[in-house]
Structure 1
Amino acid sequence: MTARFGAVLAAWVGVLSVDSASADDAEELPAPPHHAILDFDDLDGWTEDDHAAALETFLVTCGDLRDPDWRALCGLAEDHRDDARLFFELFFRPVMVTDGARDNPEGPALFTGYFEPELTGSPEETERFRYPLYQMPDEARDAQPWLSRRDILTTDALADRDLEIAWVDDPVELFFLQIQGSGRIRFPDGRVIRVGYGGANGHEYKSIGQELVRRGTYEAHEVSADTIKNWVRENPEDGEELLFHNPSYVFFREVSEVPADRGPLGALNRSVTPMRTIAVDPEYTPLGAPVWIEKSGRTELNRLMVAQDTGSAIKGAQRADVFVGTGDEAGQEAGTFRDPGRMVVLLPIQRAYALLPDLVQ
Structure 2
Amino acid sequence: MIGQYLSLIGLEKHFGSVRAVTTLSLEIGAGEFVSLVGPSGSGKTTALNMIAGFEEPSAGKIVIGGRDLTHVTPNRRGIGMVFQKYALFPHMTVQQNIAFPLRMRGQSNKTRIATRVDEMLELVQLSSYGERYPQQLSGGQQQRVALARALAFEPPVLLMDEPLGALDKKLREAMQFEIKRLQERLGATVVYVTHDQDEALTMSDRVAVMAGGELKQFGTPTELYRHPNSAFVADFIGRMNFIEGNCIENAGGTAMVRLSDDTVLSIRAQGLPARPSAGQSIKLAIRPERVRVARRGEGGSGCLAAVVQTCVFVGSVHILVVRLECRPDVLLQIQLPAEGGQPFRERDTVDLLLDDGAIHLFADTERHAA
Give 1 or 2: higher helix fraction: 1
The bucket for the TM-score relative to the shorter chain is: under 0.3
More strand by share: 2
Computing the radius of gyration from Cα coordinates, the structure with the larger value is 2
TM-score (norm 1): 0.23
